[in-house]
Homo-oligomer: A and B are copies of this chain.
Amino acid sequence: MTDEFFSRVAFNPDGLIPAIAQQHDTGEVLMLAWMNRESIEESLATGQVCYFSRSRQKLWRKGETSGQTQKLIELRLDCDGDTLLLLVAQTGVACHTGRRTCFYTALRDGALIEIASPETSPESLYGRKP
């Protein structure tokens, strides 16, 4: 059923494609991670977002350890097929630092400042310091 979709997806030489996760109702950009074909298929099958971890070289079921899952609301593909946009319903926080979004650092007047505080502690998410 998704053959047409996969025929349009342009994976990189490593078989991966970047996926932007955006909170479906607020529009907040939560994070960017990578997916391979298997992680996309699993996300579509389960309705829960699964990425591919480049550092661990295996499927990364978002929230499996932390409980901070992402329900997949809609998957979109860009014009040249090399980026995905995932509209998600984020449970809790997206970032391993305990912040809602990974994009909490802004460059303002040449200085980096934190524009969001942790809503929960990494210890409470992972049972240890990350």
Contact = CB atoms under 8 A, between A and B. Distances in A.
A79 to B, nearest CB: 4
B107 A77 contact: yes
B5 A112 contact: yes
A96 B79 CA distance: 8
Contacts of A115: 76
22 contacts: A1-B110, A1-B111, A5-B107, A5-B110, A5-B112, A8-B105, A8-B112, A18-B18, A18-B32, A20-B29, A27-B27, A27-B29, A31-B78, A31-B83, A75-B107, A76-B105, A76-B115, A77-B112, A78-B103, A79-B95, A79-B102, A79-B105
A77 to B, nearest CB: 5
A57 interface: no
Contact of A26 (B27, B44, B75, B110): B27
A104 interface: yes
Contacts of A26: 27
Contacts of A77: 103, 105-107, 112
Contact of A29 (B74, B75, B85, B97): B85
A77 B97 CA distance: 14
